[in-house]
Amino acid sequence: QQKAQIQQQLHALTDVCWEKCMDKPRDKLDYRTESCISNCVERFMDTTKAIGVRLQQKYKEM
Amino acid sequence: QQKAQIQQQLHALTDVCWEKCMDKPRDKLDYRTESCISNCVERFMDTTKAIGVRLQQKYKEM
Amino acid sequence: QQKAQIQQQLHALTDVCWEKCMDKPRDKLDYRTESCISNCVERFMDTTKAIGVRLQQKYKEM
Amino acid sequence: ATELLQKLSDKCFKKCVTSPGTSLGNSEQKCIAMCVDRYLDSWNVVSKSYVQRLQ
Amino acid sequence: ATELLQKLSDKCFKKCVTSPGTSLGNSEQKCIAMCVDRYLDSWNVVSKSYVQRLQ
Amino acid sequence: ATELLQKLSDKCFKKCVTSPGTSLGNSEQKCIAMCVDRYLDSWNVVSKSYVQRLQ
């Protein structure tokens, strides 16, 4: 079950970072696109974490 | 069950009207965005109603 | 079950080709839009076929 | 049918109501009606092409 | 709640992190916080308008 | 695998076939093949970054 959840997160991340970083597909994954994708994954996870914290604050305020 | 359906409609409406009315998020929900959202909800519901009527006409013609 | 699958493919194709070919809806389906949609369906099916072949090659290489 | 209604509401609202006002204007209403009609037309063209292709 | 977290991550990342760098910049962090707050505000406005309309 | 096929069809068709003609042109076919390859590459980069981050 946890494995399915990780698979699903990988799919979601690939979708988001593909849209963010890939313009026209080329014959190789160039360095720029690769580091864009890897930064995208990390920043996306930072974003999720920051939002989680924010939502908890909000719930406390209610 | 009906409660779940309403929740789902609220989610859909928030998505549509957020995309329609919110550009870059700011530090307050300004008046213009707020009235855009509230008009968006009403016009979306008008749209659904108009389409329902149209589809029924079409089904009769078939 | 197969019928449901075909229905689902028709929905997916209509969505893709509607986005690809329809700009502002007009009072008639003009010839240009109609042939765009019909080409879109065929090219989309070509695309799926080509991707299927490519994925099988990739799986063999692994 | 509910699914079609939801899908069409979404698509036609996005195409036809660019900045939502205090009521649906005349041209928005016409656009919505044409949007439904053209979507159903498109569905028919898609079905025909799909069936031809499968044969 | 997990669903809301996923949806907000998606929406706010797309709006606020235009070209992902080696860390979240200050303005990106602010944008994300405001994005969450404004989304919840929007949800409230939508709920209010929806309920008013149904009555 | 069917899900991946559907997703790739959708993504690569949108990226590579801008105005569908009477057959897939040579450059469209190449674009589709590269699109599949780059998507799988991206999946690998994402997995690697994701696992590194979790550790």
- The domain locations on chain C are 2-61
pLDDT tens sequence across C15-50: 999 999 998 899 999 999 999 999 999 999 999 999
E11: containing domain:
2-54
Q: E13, E46, E50: which to substitute to probe chain B, counting the most B Cβ within 10 Å?
A: E46
CA distance F55 to chain C (A): 27
pLDDT score at F49: 97
Q: A19, A22, A31: which to substitute to probe chain F, counting the most F Cβ within 10 Å?
A: A22
pLDDT score at A47: 98
CB pairs under 8 A between C and D: 57
Report angle CA D28, D33, D36 to the nearest 5 degrees. 125
User: Above 0.85 for ipTM, yes or no?
Assistant: yes
Chains F and D touch (3+ CB pairs under 8 A): no
pLDDT score at F24: 97
* Residues of B in Cβ contact (< 8 Å) with E15: 24-25
CATH match for C2-61 among 1.25.40.10, 1.10.287.810, 3.30.1460.30, 2.60.120.10:
1.10.287.810
- Tell me: pLDDT of D31 over 90: yes
The dihedrals phi and psi of F22, each to the nearest 5 degrees, come to -80, -10
Q: Digits of tens for pLDDT over chain F (55 positions)?
A: 788 999 999 999 999 999 999 999 999 999 999 999 999 999 999 999 999 998 8
* Residues of C in Cβ contact (< 8 Å) with F1: 55
CA distance A60 to chain F (A): 28
Q: E32, E42, E43, E51: which to substitute to probe chain B, counting the most B Cβ within 10 Å?
A: E42
Contact F50 A9 (CB under 8 A): yes
CA distance D7 to chain B (A): 10
Q: How far apart are the C-alpha atoms of F25 and C41, rounded to whole Å? A: 15
Chains D and C touch (3+ CB pairs under 8 A): yes
- Cα separation of the two ends of chain D: 28
pLDDT tens sequence across B7-16: 889 999 999 9
Q: How far apart are the C-alpha atoms of F19 and C16, rounded to whole Å? A: 12
pLDDT tens sequence across E7-42: 999 999 999 999 999 999 999 999 999 999 999 999
Q: How far apart are the C-alpha atoms of C10 and C12, rounded to whole Å? A: 5
Domain count of the fold of chain E: 1
CB count, 10 Å around CB of B10?
16
Residue F14's CATH number:
1.10.287.810
pLDDT tens sequence across B9-47: 999 999 999 999 998 899 999 999 999 999 999 999 999
